[in-house]
Structure 1
Amino acid sequence: MSRQAPTIRRRESVVGEGWPSTVPPLLRRIYAGRGAHDLASAQPKLAQLLPPDGLSNIDAATALLADAIASGERILVVGDFDCDGATACAVAVRGLRMLGARDIVHAVPNRVTHGYGLSPALVESLAHLSPSLLVTVDHGIACHAGIRAAKALGWRVLVTDHHLPGDALPGADAIVNPNQPGDTFPSKVLAGVGVIFYVLMALRARLRGQGDTRAAEADLGSLLDLVAVGTVADLVPLDANNRALVSAGLRRLRSRRGCTGLQALIEISGREAARLTAADIGFAIGPRINAAGRLEDMAIGIECLLSDDAAHARELADTLHQINAERRAVQQSMLDDAEAAVARRTPVEPAGAGVCLFDADWHPGVVGLVASKMKDMLHRPVIAFAPAEPDSEQLRGSARSIPGLHIRDVLAAVDVAHPQLIERFGGHAMAAGLTLQRDRFDAFAAAFGEAVDRMLDPALLRAELLTDGALRGEEFDIVHAAHLRDAGPWGQGFPEPLFDGEFAVVDWKIVGSRHLKLTLRLDGHPRPLSAIHFGGWREIAPSARERVVYRLAPDDYRGGDAVQLVVEHREALAIA
């Protein structure tokens, strides 16, 4: 099995009337290609946010919180060990304090010690805190045993989550999850941090209705920087509602009004706050927060997001930066192992479209990144497994899927057909997690392959690159590059603009060990164009003429009015 060469297809876009003159024709075309046919749908504002009252159980949830606040009871917020869970925890703690909570504590499971979510082991370790109300953020919908353990201690439990539920809901006092049965909230793609932000909005409205002056003054908008980071990092689709949240959060970060911890992370990652984009969150900020949960303890990441002391936040950001560097080294080693295993077609991969990978030396906190990279390379659904801890007989797997295959449904189908294989699973359409015993790996890999072959349309196994067509010669300038950068937020479901065209390769050189710096020329364009293809060196020199899929971006290294093409894909063309 080898790297897939994608089919390049151009989006169809029909640009309507009524656009203001401030939106250039190029952006109108790009927005139309994503289904946004007017300024309101292209650049949604906070005023367009969906109201919280569409969320099931929102009244019961806010009643639990309002009662706990009024009584001065202890509230325990339990987060998750990824960026969405960390930002959700910080939003919950900061927001509840704004709304009058006087006794609020937080915790997060350790990936190795407790496993995912609210487990009985985590509840036992938190028993000394004796909260009256436990609030889960970004998890809980699958934590039946942990919730039973918490209820047995006399705690009330509020679950806020966005993951897909199983056949039965846990026995919490209230559950807020747009994906639970019967929920009528129009957007099903809120991240975990978005769900708790909505709960806080509804709680503020309840308290204001009761005449609470603190609630009347509470500025929940100050939490939108955290909402933006968690939403982008969790790769949920950026529908209009999520884009409104992320846009508002980016405005706070660009104006340097973000929380102290995020400002420290922006600085240490080498990004410029004034020009921060969703891509910067996805590639620089989110990974540094995520790294804590992958290799160390997400408590470090949450502490950074909750700190209001600049020196302390900078120290924590530096720690996260170092952990992330370690994560990248571990990830590259594991990716090298995975690529070698696939190239050898060893028994890690049964016949069929579904790919399962396992190595006894892999780290459980990084398997999701390996699965994602291998999924992109092979254009196949991939599950990567590692021992839950060194020498453990339990494996933890992380699954990533391709468009058109709901990976959690695949795992559910395997569980129904082979009830003893999987110990636990959960997730989304495109990503999921599971645990199983090591001696059942081969049987699971075979069952997974069979399920994928049965449920996946073979036509979907051909990778496809959707582009926004070609740029005209006059559009290769800093004005259009800046418009493209600032017109988002771009992300899942609202992809960053990609263009394609045929270019002559005037010059090229290897940068580092894996990247290609290219000088390209477009027919009829007077000036050569600078391009960079990260990871583009594969021991084969570029052809004299190539079809290139690229993004147009300001060249921050050269500055001024310089632009560059950021290459996503190249393929050789025959010389006429």
Structure 2
Amino acid sequence: MFESKYSWQAPAGTEDTARSLAEALSVSPLTAALLASRGIGSVEEAGMFLNGNLEMLHDPYLLLGMEKAVLRIQQAIENGEHILIYGDYDADGVSSTSLMIYFMRHLGVSYDIYIPHRSNEGYGLHNHALDWANQQGVSLVITVDTGISAVEQIAYANSLGIDVIVTDHHEPPEVLPDAYALINPKQPGCPYPFKGLAGVGVAYKLAQAVLKDPPVEWTEIVAIGTIADLMPLTGENRILVSRGLECMRHTSFQGIRALMEVSGISMGSVTSTNVAFGMAPRINASGRLDHAGSAVALLTTEDMDEAQRLSHALDELNKERQQVVEVIVQEAMMQLQGKMSGGTVPDVIVLAGEGWNVGVVGIVASKILERYYRPVIILGIDPETGMCKGSARSIPGLDIFEALTSCKELMEHYGGHPSAAGMSLKREQLPAFEEALNHYAASVLTADDFTPVTSTDGEWRLSDVPLSVIDEMEMLAPFGMANPVPKLIFRGTQLVELRKMGKEGKHLKLVVRQGGARIEAVAFGRGDLAELLEEGMTLDILGEVSVNEWNGSRKPQLMLQDMKITGPQVFDLRDSKEPWGEIQRIYDQVAPYMRLDHRHIAAVFNPRIESSPKMDLNDCTLWVYDSKAGISAFNDAANTYGKDHITTLFMVHVPDSADQLDMLLGSFKNLSNVFLLHSGRNKAEQLTIPSREQFKLLYVLLMRLAAEPIREQEALARLSQQSSSTLRMVTMMMDVFEELSFIERLDGNIVVIPKPPKRELSSSIHFSALGSLAEMEQHLVYAGTSQCTSWVISRLEGAS
């Protein structure tokens, strides 16, 4: 069984709401169901969701601390004070800082900006930066996307006579800083209705409070930060991002125009997906590998030449970032292998390395989480100071901010969200830190939490998604967090066509059919699965529908996210040159799709052909053919795990008999995948299913040849030639004659018994065994793929 990588979670209990919405809004059942699954239960709510505008934004003065902050800014304007905008180095921080620059320019005030260097300084407000601000004559600091945890630093600012207004959206700590004003919708006692603003969203609300109607084009910057920081695209965020994307399609910002160009984005059709995967990584690259100031300069420049230069520089940084990430991922994976005792992955993966660029450790954490589906913390170690700075990414079952809070005494600093966080700690605290996190996780997580889950928008048929419905679904855009691109399940589709595509065949293109409807499906980066699929297979698929436009033609297309093949599967990889290496390659390739770990795998081989396996998967179970029991355990893993966990079998050699094959298949009660890696026999050794006529002919030839005793090897060779049967076939037929007392074997000779007893061929055990073995080898060794795999499946189903 080819399992889906994820457990597909369908929305529950929205059918009645969807029906009423479809009727009231005159939309398709699918579009109505999508609205209902997003929590929209009435026509009024649907109107807000689909037609929200800037006039519907909440009053910024509902934010606790806003009135005090506005009065202080107005005082600074009147007194001609020098203001410092203190930002952060990620895309949200860059966007927030850029927005505040436009705000300061609009107000015509004296200002500076300060963004800490990710590697040299780390996250948050720093005393040395406040010292510098004091030297510059700053009397008011406005933080954006940071500050809510800066208790000591803001106390220091107060001692210098500097007022601090904090605008932030991160989770507030138990003790809040004594700032002049704190603006954060998540802080205790804040009545603001929408808690999901990004840092740039909070900064925008400050500008809105002061100006009442900020320039509409500022929403472009809000959109970039909100999308990049993975904030929910619901409520106010949806309004701000929608308006921002609309403005971006005819942007007057030179930097945004240049950034879209270098990202290969068509300005007239920019989407939230373009921002997330095209623009945001390049903005983030500045803070990861250099200094975020270059990204701020890009978003705030009014010079097109400078915008072009800066955008190309960010593009090069992003390419460098990709290479750096790949190197660290490889090193981290090797380190993790050393921690996986008995193949068991820790509940929380904590990895640290000298020289690992702290600017990309969050990306590395995401990649390792995707591979192992565990909370992951990756830290870069400064070899001189011993300080570790890192990033965490978590799974839904573990609130990583709460987990870090449980061991806060081990860290110098930490902060973040339930799914992502950052921290710094001393090197000597690493073992205790890892132990504490795993102890906490063990008390919170259950086995179900380690099964990857993806939310879907239910089961549909291909006929439910014509072009008109796909176009209609666009009214739900922009898509992102809390309003994801719809993922639809299509069950029981038949695979009609299959081919690799792209450079080096890295991608997969399928055509599937369901009833009278067909659709093309593309799976990026999944070309390696082509050899595991066959035309005619029945697939359950999960995908995102879109429109493929080419040369003026438009047709539905499915972007494949996941797939599943139900029932037992047999994969024909016969005649593999290095079968043991093939097992390792297949495991690495398909483990996520078959939900495998080493205890689920069995490899069986013939010890007479190969005394010991040549493979690295020492923790998988190894078995050898046994003439009495069918198979017997070969390694410690087989003895430890036993047979009940086995779902996937690698057959390295052909069984000695059909009975042995049935005992093999019957030994593993939960077997659903069989990979055939054995060699095909030489035609010179082929057996045929024996017939009476064949035995009669051979007996006549034997009587002529062996009137006197004859050396067996000579007789076999001559009989093989005269009967046109292989030497192996003739040898096994001699076993039948001997069992039936037609011949005797004496001292290497064959002696024909003149008057043998009358016995039926069918009474011979050797005759039945020869027939069964010939049939098995005919299907298992010599048949084509379709006939071979169908026959093994029938034996597998019979064994179960």
TM, length-normalised to structure 1: 0.90
Is 1:360 aligned to 2:336, yes or no?
A: no
| Equivalent residue, structure 1, for 2:263 | 269
1:194–1:296: structure 2 CA closer, same or farther, 3 Å change rule?
A: same
**One-letter identity of the residue aligned with 1:522:** R
Task: Report 1:56-95 matches (<5 A).
Answer: 56-95=64-103
| Equivalent residue, structure 2, for 1:240 | 235
Shift of 1:31: 1.3
1:263–1:523: structure 2 CA closer, same or farther, 3 Å change rule?
A: same
Counterpart Cα distance in 1 of 2:313 and 2:472: 35
Report which stretch shifted further, 163-172 or 556-565: 556-565
Counterpart Cα distance in 2 of 1:145 and 1:372: 31
Is 1:226 aligned to 2:228, yes or no?
A: no
Is 1:561 aligned to 2:554, yes or no?
A: yes
Counterpart Cα distance in 2 of 1:344 and 1:511: 36
Deviations 1:519-545 (A, max 9, x none): 222222354x33222232446624233
Deviations 1:350-371 (A, max 9, x none): 9642111222232101111111
1:162–1:526: structure 2 CA closer, same or farther, 3 Å change rule?
A: closer
Deviations 1:198-251 (A, max 9, x none): 11111124xxxxxxxxxxxx6432210100110011012223221111111111
Counterpart Cα distance in 2 of 1:504 and 1:361: 50
Counterpart Cα distance in 1 of 2:338 and 2:474: 41
**One-letter identity of the residue aligned with 1:473:** L
Shift of 1:327: 0.8
**One-letter identity of the residue aligned with 1:244:** I
| Equivalent residue, structure 1, for 2:620 | none
Deviations 1:254-309 (A, max 9, x none): 2x135221121111101112222111111111111011001110000000011122
Task: Report 1:45-56 matches (<5 A).
Answer: 45-56=53-64
The alignment partner of 1:445 has SS state of: helix
1:188–1:522: structure 2 CA closer, same or farther, 3 Å change rule?
A: same
| Equivalent residue, structure 2, for 1:215 | none
Task: Report 1:272-311 matches (<5 A).
Answer: 272-311=266-305
Shift of 1:556: 5.0
1:541–1:114: structure 2 CA closer, same or farther, 3 Å change rule?
A: same
| Equivalent residue, structure 1, for 2:153 | 146
**One-letter identity of the residue aligned with 1:132:** S
Give RMSD over aligned pairs: 2.5
Shift of 1:558: 6.2
Judge conservation of contact 1:410–1:455 (CA < 8 Å) in 2. Answer: no
Is 1:40 aligned to 2:47, yes or no?
A: yes
1:101–1:536: structure 2 CA closer, same or farther, 3 Å change rule?
A: same
Aligned residues: 554
Judge conservation of contact 1:350–1:446 (CA < 8 Å) in 2. Answer: no
Is 1:17 aligned to 2:20, yes or no?
A: yes
Task: Report 1:261-410 matches (<5 A).
Answer: 261-346=255-340, 352-387=346-381, 389=382, 391-410=384-403
Shift of 1:381: 1.3
Is 1:135 aligned to 2:148, yes or no?
A: no
Q: Which of 491, 515, 519 lines up with 2:506 in the alignment?
A: 515
The alignment partner of 1:266 has SS state of: helix
Counterpart Cα distance in 1 of 2:443 and 2:330: 30
Judge conservation of contact 1:354–1:453 (CA < 8 Å) in 2. Answer: no
Q: Which of structures 1 and 2 has the larger relative contact order (alpha carbons within 8 angstroms, sep 6+)?
A: 1
Shift of 1:182: 1.3
Report which stretch shifted further, 537-546 or 29-38: 537-546
Is 1:167 aligned to 2:170, yes or no?
A: no
TM, length-normalised to structure 2: 0.66
| Equivalent residue, structure 2, for 1:214 | none
**One-letter identity of the residue aligned with 2:520:** S
Shift of 1:496: 1.3
Is 1:543 aligned to 2:543, yes or no?
A: no
**One-letter identity of the residue aligned with 1:9:** Q
1:440–1:223: structure 2 CA closer, same or farther, 3 Å change rule?
A: same
1:41–1:198: structure 2 CA closer, same or farther, 3 Å change rule?
A: same
Judge conservation of contact 2:391–2:423 (CA < 8 Å) in 1. Answer: yes
Judge conservation of contact 2:145–2:168 (CA < 8 Å) in 1. Answer: yes
| Equivalent residue, structure 1, for 2:515 | 524
| Equivalent residue, structure 2, for 1:209 | none
Shift of 1:426: 0.8
Deviations 1:75-107 (A, max 9, x none): 111110000001001111112322x23212212
Counterpart Cα distance in 2 of 1:342 and 1:564: 39
The alignment partner of 1:395 has SS state of: strand
Give the unaligned 5+ runs of structure 1: 206-217
The alignment partner of 1:547 has SS state of: strand
Shift of 1:326: 0.8
Is 1:257 aligned to 2:251, yes or no?
A: yes
Task: Report 1:460-499 matches (<5 A).
Answer: 460-485=449-474, 487-499=476-488
Judge conservation of contact 1:72–1:101 (CA < 8 Å) in 2. Answer: no
| Equivalent residue, structure 2, for 1:197 | 204
Report which stretch shifted further, 75-84 or 475-484: 475-484
Shift of 1:129: 2.4
**One-letter identity of the residue aligned with 2:441:** V
Q: Larger Rg: 1 or 2?
A: 2
Give the unaligned 5+ runs of structure 2: 570-789, 791-800
**One-letter identity of the residue aligned with 1:6:** Y
1:469–1:224: structure 2 CA closer, same or farther, 3 Å change rule?
A: same
1:4–1:473: structure 2 CA closer, same or farther, 3 Å change rule?
A: closer
Counterpart Cα distance in 1 of 2:390 and 2:312: 29
Deviations 1:484-533 (A, max 9, x none): 34531111112210012243331121533583221222222354x33222
Percent identity of paired positions between Structure 1 and Structure 2: 30
Counterpart Cα distance in 2 of 1:45 and 1:571: 42
Counterpart Cα distance in 1 of 2:543 and 2:263: 24
**One-letter identity of the residue aligned with 1:321:** D
The alignment partner of 1:17 has SS state of: helix
1:499–1:197: structure 2 CA closer, same or farther, 3 Å change rule?
A: same
Counterpart Cα distance in 2 of 1:16 and 1:70: 58
**One-letter identity of the residue aligned with 2:72:** L
Is 1:29 aligned to 2:6, yes or no?
A: no
1:104–1:16: structure 2 CA closer, same or farther, 3 Å change rule?
A: farther
Counterpart Cα distance in 2 of 1:336 and 1:482: 42
Judge conservation of contact 2:84–2:133 (CA < 8 Å) in 1. Answer: no
Judge conservation of contact 1:424–1:436 (CA < 8 Å) in 2. Answer: yes
Deviations 1:384-415 (A, max 9, x none): 1112x465411112111112422111111122
